[in-house]
Amino acid sequence: MRIIRLRLNGDEVQTSCPSHWTLLELVRYQLELTGTKQGCDKGDCGACTVLLDGKPVLACLTLAANAEGKSVTTIEGLMPAHIQAGGTGSDPIQEAFDECGALQCGFCQPGMMLSARALLNEKPAPSREEIHGALSGNLCRCTGYTQIVQAVETAIAKACDKDVPKPAWQTELDNLDKEAN
Ligand code: FES
Ligand code: FES
């Protein structure tokens, strides 16, 4: 067993786990934060993405011991971090995913949102190419990626006080209305 001290979603935590455990195992099975998903468990899908000292990492490929003395943010910590920074309610990325319908089963969503949050923390108004690049390690088997990218662009537009793109579902509804009339 190994004792690990870390800052988890803003709280100082001391915990322990077998030395060979990954950060994903520590978070899910010792700390019981199941928002971090166990997908492929070999670095392919991005479902296990968490922020380690603000940078996105694949928790399934990161030893728990590497979190010693560091700050770890899981999806459960996104809203508290936003509130602590002076915001209200959910993180704008979470709001935008909801508004844009950027999910179906939701399995990829925690990792997607944390990757997006890390990008916007580093660069508040990235280009579409940069959004694609930042999310390229996060796979979604359900949605296609249109709404996901649109959600990130919506969060950017709101933060920069720019025109918010119309959600893809709204455009489709408008088109159906036009066809019906
Ligand atoms: S579970 Fe870590 S990349 Fe798939
Ligand atoms: S919504 Fe199902 S994997 Fe992305």
Q: Who lines ligand 1 at CB under 6 A?
A: 38-41, 43-48, 58, 60
Same domain, yes or no: 98 and 62 = no
Domain coverage including residue 163? 90-174
CATH of the domain at 162: 1.10.150.120
Q: Give the domain CATH number at 44.
A: 3.10.20.30
Indicate whether residue 144 lines ligand 2 (CB < 6 A): no
Shared-domain flag, residues 106 and 38: no
Identify the three-state secondary structure at position 52: strand
Examine the domain organization and report whether 7 and 35 are in the same domain: yes
For 27-86, the pLDDT digits (tens) are: 999 999 999 999 999 999 999 999 999 999 999 999 999 999 999 999 999 999 999 999
Closest C-alpha to ligand 2, atom 2: 105
The structure's pTM equals 0.93
Examine the domain organization and report whether 110 and 54 are in the same domain: no
User: For residue 179, is it within any domain?
Assistant: no
Domain assignment present for residue 154? The answer is: yes
- Could you give the number of structural domains in the chain? 2
Q: What is the dihedral of CA 12, 53, 156, 36, to 10 degrees?
A: -70
What span, in angstroms and rounded, lies between the C-alpha atoms of 97 and 36?
A: 17
